[in-house]
Amino acid sequence: MRTLFAVSATALALMSGPVAASQTANIFNSNITEQEVFNAQQGWCSALVSISEANMKGGQAQAKQVAEQVIDSAYAYDNGGVLFKPTLTVAPQTFRSTRRGALAYFVGGDSSFPNDSGFALGDWTKCDVITDGVLLMGNTAISMGQVTVTNKQGQSTTVDKTWGWMKDSQGNLRIVLHHSSLEHMAK
Amino acid sequence: MRTLFAVSATALALMSGPVAASQTANIFNSNITEQEVFNAQQGWCSALVSISEANMKGGQAQAKQVAEQVIDSAYAYDNGGVLFKPTLTVAPQTFRSTRRGALAYFVGGDSSFPNDSGFALGDWTKCDVITDGVLLMGNTAISMGQVTVTNKQGQSTTVDKTWGWMKDSQGNLRIVLHHSSLEHMAK
Amino acid sequence: MRTLFAVSATALALMSGPVAASQTANIFNSNITEQEVFNAQQGWCSALVSISEANMKGGQAQAKQVAEQVIDSAYAYDNGGVLFKPTLTVAPQTFRSTRRGALAYFVGGDSSFPNDSGFALGDWTKCDVITDGVLLMGNTAISMGQVTVTNKQGQSTTVDKTWGWMKDSQGNLRIVLHHSSLEHMAK
Amino acid sequence: MRTLFAVSATALALMSGPVAASQTANIFNSNITEQEVFNAQQGWCSALVSISEANMKGGQAQAKQVAEQVIDSAYAYDNGGVLFKPTLTVAPQTFRSTRRGALAYFVGGDSSFPNDSGFALGDWTKCDVITDGVLLMGNTAISMGQVTVTNKQGQSTTVDKTWGWMKDSQGNLRIVLHHSSLEHMAK
């Protein structure tokens, strides 16, 4: 018996060669790309420096104003919620699931968060990201790596950082997860 | 008051210029691409013709064997479930949520589905897709368009078709939704 | 050799008994539920009848006004795009990827869509859904079934229908996919 | 002008009251639930204690065997990739994107990872999770909280932990993200 007609049990994508994309099809794509994640990471760095510069030029009040803009444009507190473990928070206020808790962490000055001195007030002038890996999962993504911030005296601090991202209804990435921790040092 | 330091409330992705992708980052990407959808659509067409060719060469038994390979490799009956409304089914067996119901539709010969004569036994030698639109949503996608099948006598039938796709654990696209209907004709 | 300490290679979820949900955890859930799909399907039916009632009471102009409200609140033309194959459209205007094309289908009166007489002007007073199946996939879902519309004379039409849904930023379901087709009749 | 017929521009879900779920619809649901996340978190804890118990009873070789079972059943190294920042790793081997790097962290004994002494060999007899928050996003989820491990001498260590989860093709949760860090201490 001839079996010329039998197809092997391969998947659909393998049953044909590449197909030219239709010129006329409408493509509606809500997926986050690798490049969008890299840009958003660097955007976070730029935002941190912006808050710091605002403080150096105009003091805490100005820094707070910029920080509010950053939080409102870059975090998802109004878009479903945020899981946030900042670098330097301590129990029992380790996690900051509210906008107010995030703002206190960045610029301090909130008596409800007495241990917060304002991380973004550290005279940071430079912020660099080295990405270890990215998970792309449709309109959400996760990235992990190291961020090094440098202040105007040239002193640097490196943290291990994980960000989770979502694409909002305007197509911008927003942070839904932020876990930052000081590097562990070998004994 | 100076406002030099103020950032506008733009989103993170806009706060910086494009960032060069890290050379070393691990990128784990489960998203379906437009090209994968186009390939899978054409793969479905090729599979239909394969079943038909098997029938022409080896009869219904051979066609059934090929159809089983197609269903097992291209539909998601074992990967979470399938919503299937074939072109020519009639109530009360319009929808085929089981592998057996899909097989009966393609090659007939199942007394439990007495109205099924076997769509894929129609001596189809050609199958073309014109895509109207594609929705890309992470590891799932939806595509809609028209499919024209042509038999060995050169007679064609055009159907309106919607497919839903998922990417399985081997990275292959599988059909989770299939709604096919004859073109409506103007009176 | 004793193996008392060995765990079998079961998945994490099986390694422990059920765990009481933390009382204090913040749960951020963007998933669509089965019940939301059933409600949205019935909502579409109610919306169709509303357009029809507007026409019966106030004529096409009123129906058009209601139809615009329905499209803007229930379809995703402004939320990423819609794949729409209405029941009675004909080539080359089978698919309606624009708001205008959808509006023309529902209430007619648009010279750019000369074959559209306005499906929703059919004096529909009743609309029922029988669901065959639902795919729940995070903030998107697909449902398939039959919809029967009945007019004021008591005449009914049944169509096979697939809807794709997304949850928008306000938490409401919107239609991203709509494939409707007249029942195929056995010869 | 009468407006009795006008519907307000509410979303579909609000246009009708609750609808009884169809008795017969097939529901295909790939979403992760809150309970599954809580169970998987506790499963991770149980797995850690299992490795530790294996070591106490059978030494490193036995612990390694159990750790391999744990990694293969609970992490997604073979299911698309894992982003892993363990608690005690140091640069330049901070991140463990390979199964081998994860194994070295848990049980040590790999000369390619000379700083790894084997976290799971710490005579842990108890492991508890307090969840701060959970993001449910279809077949992926993220959870954040604190994990306290206690050894046989009764000494405890608390870490801040973020897990990312995916549901695999068998319906089990697997870890795609794991960022763990020692609590920051106030000066």
Q: CA-CA distance, C111 to C55, in Å (whole number)?
A: 19
- CB interface of C with D, residues 150-179, below 8 Å: 168, 170, 172-175
Residue A125 lies in a domain: yes
Residue type, B168: D
Q: What pLDDT shows up at residue D187?
A: 66
Residue D25 and residue C133 in contact, taking contact as beta carbons nearer than 8 Å: yes
Q: CA-CA distance, B75 to C158, in Å (whole number)?
A: 27
Neighbouring subunits of B (3+ Cβ pairs under 8 A) = A, C, D
Partner-chain residue, chosen from B97, B137, B184, that has the shortest CB–CB distance to C90: B184
Q: Phi first, then psi: what are they for A92, rounded to 5°?
A: -90, 20
> Going by DSSP bridges, is the β-strand pair C156-167/C140-151 parallel, antiparallel, or unpaired?
antiparallel
From chain C, the residues in CB contact with D54 under 8 A are: 5-6
Residues C26, A81: C-beta atoms closer than 8 Å: yes
> Going by DSSP bridges, is the β-strand pair A140-151/A156-167 parallel, antiparallel, or unpaired?
antiparallel
Q: What pLDDT shows up at residue C24?
A: 81
Residue of chain C with shortest Cα separation from B116: C186
| Per-residue pLDDT tens over the stretch A108-147 | 999 999 999 999 999 999 999 999 999 999 999 999 999 9
User: What's the domain range around B162?
Assistant: 32-182
Partner-chain residue, chosen from D30, D81, D168, that has the shortest CB–CB distance to B26: D81
Q: What pLDDT shows up at residue B23?
A: 57
Partner-chain residue, chosen from A25, A30, A175, that has the shortest CB–CB distance to B137: A30
Mean pLDDT to the nearest integer, A27-47: 97
From chain C, the residues in CB contact with B85 under 8 A are: 132, 144, 160, 162, 181
Q: What pLDDT shows up at residue B76?
A: 98
Residues D146, A115: C-beta atoms closer than 8 Å: no
Q: What pLDDT shows up at residue D119?
A: 98
Q: CA-CA distance, B60 to B80, in Å (whole number)?
A: 29
CA B85 to chain centroid: 12
Q: What pLDDT shows up at residue B131?
A: 97
Residue B82 lies in a domain: yes
Interchain contact C54–D (C-beta under 8 A):
yes
**What band does B21 get if pLDDT is binned at 50, 70 and 90?**
low
Interchain contact A133–D (C-beta under 8 A):
yes
Interchain contact B69–C (C-beta under 8 A):
no
**What band does D23 get if pLDDT is binned at 50, 70 and 90?**
low
**What band does A6 get if pLDDT is binned at 50, 70 and 90?**
very low
Q: What pLDDT shows up at residue B8?
A: 39
Contacts of C146 (CB under 8 A, 6+ apart): B91, B94, C129, C130, C132, C158, C159, C160, C161, C183
From chain D, the residues in CB contact with B80 under 8 A are: 28, 30
Instruction: Name residue, tokens 């029967």.
Output: C148
Residue B174 and residue B74 in contact, taking contact as beta carbons nearer than 8 Å: yes
- How many contacts does A have with D, using Cβ atoms within 8 A? 116
Q: What pLDDT shows up at residue B6?
A: 35
Residues B97, D26: C-beta atoms closer than 8 Å: yes
Which residue has better confidence, B9 or D111?
D111
Residue of chain B with shortest Cα separation from D176: B28
Q: Cα C31–C140–B13 angle (5° rounding)?
A: 90
Q: Cα D77–D80–D85 angle (5° rounding)?
A: 55
Q: What pLDDT shows up at residue C28?
A: 97
Partner-chain residue, chosen from A138, A158, A177, that has the shortest CB–CB distance to D162: A177
When mean pLDDT is compared across A163-167, C142-146, D9-13, D169-173, the lowest value belongs to: D9-13
What mean pLDDT, rounded, does chain A reach? Answer: 90
| Per-residue pLDDT tens over the stretch B148-179 | 999 999 999 999 999 999 999 999 999 999 99
CB atoms within 10 A of CB A23: 6
Q: CA-CA distance, D103 to D118, in Å (whole number)?
A: 9
Q: CA-CA distance, D1 to C186, in Å (whole number)?
A: 48
Best CA proximity match to C27, nearest among A104, D38, D173, A94: D38
| Per-residue pLDDT tens over the stretch B52-104 | 999 999 999 999 999 999 999 999 999 999 999 999 999 999 999 999 999 99
Q: What pLDDT shows up at residue B185?
A: 86
Partner-chain residue, chosen from C29, C40, C73, that has the shortest CB–CB distance to D9: C73
Residues C11, D173: C-beta atoms closer than 8 Å: yes
In the predicted model, is pLDDT for residue C2 greater than 70?
Answer: no
Mean pLDDT to the nearest integer, C107-129: 98
Residues B168, D169: C-beta atoms closer than 8 Å: yes
Residue D106 lies in a domain: yes
Residue A117 lies in a domain: yes
CA distance C110 to chain D (A): 21
CA distance B157 to chain C (A): 14
Residue C127 and residue C149 in contact, taking contact as beta carbons nearer than 8 Å: yes
Best CA proximity match to B115, nearest among C186, C184, C182: C186
Contacts of A118 (CB under 8 A, 6+ apart): A55, A60, A63, A105, A106, A107, A108, A109
Residue D7 lies in a domain: no
Neighbouring subunits of C (3+ Cβ pairs under 8 A) = A, B, D
**What band does A52 get if pLDDT is binned at 50, 70 and 90?**
very high
Q: CA-CA distance, D162 to D170, in Å (whole number)?
A: 23
Residue B84 lies in a domain: yes
Interchain contact A79–D (C-beta under 8 A):
no
Q: Identify the DSSP state of C98.
A: S
Residue B160 and residue C94 in contact, taking contact as beta carbons nearer than 8 Å: yes
Interchain contact C81–B (C-beta under 8 A):
yes
Partners of D178 in the β-ladder: D84, D163
Q: What pLDDT shows up at residue B32?
A: 98
Which residue has better confidence, B7 or C55?
C55
Contacts of D156 (CB under 8 A, 6+ apart): D148, D149, D150
**What band does A186 get if pLDDT is binned at 50, 70 and 90?**
confident
Q: CA-CA distance, D60 to C180, in Å (whole number)?
A: 63
Residue D5 lies in a domain: no
- Residue D92 corresponds to which tokens in the numbers above? 């330049």
Q: How many domains does chain B have?
A: 1
Q: CA-CA distance, A46 to B109, in Å (whole number)?
A: 67
Interchain contact A6–B (C-beta under 8 A):
yes
Q: What pLDDT shows up at residue C137?
A: 97
Q: CA-CA distance, C81 to C153, in Å (whole number)?
A: 36
List, as one string, the DSSP characters of D27-42.
EEE-PPPHHHHHHHHH
Q: What pLDDT shows up at residue B7?
A: 38
Mutate to test the interface with A, among D34, D85, D97 (most CBs of A within 10 A): D85
Residues B115, C186: C-beta atoms closer than 8 Å: yes
Q: Identify the three-state secondary structure at position C95.
A: coil
In the predicted model, is pLDDT for residue C161 greater than 60?
Answer: yes
Q: CA-CA distance, A176 to D49, in Å (whole number)?
A: 31
Q: Phi first, then psi: what are they for C171, rounded to 5°?
A: 90, 10
Q: CA-CA distance, D151 to D136, in Å (whole number)?
A: 32
In the predicted model, is pLDDT for residue B5 greater than 50?
Answer: no
Q: CA-CA distance, D106 to D150, in Å (whole number)?
A: 16
Q: Residue B138 belongs to a domain with what CATH number? A: 3.10.450.50
Residue C94 lies in a domain: yes
Sheet order of strands, A26-29 included: A26-29, B124-137, B140-151, B156-167, B173-182, B83-85
Interchain contact B113–C (C-beta under 8 A):
no
Helices (H) and strands (E) in chain A, counts: 2, 6
From chain B, the residues in CB contact with C182 under 8 A are: 181, 184
Interchain contact B44–A (C-beta under 8 A):
yes
In the predicted model, is pLDDT for residue A12 greater than 60?
Answer: no
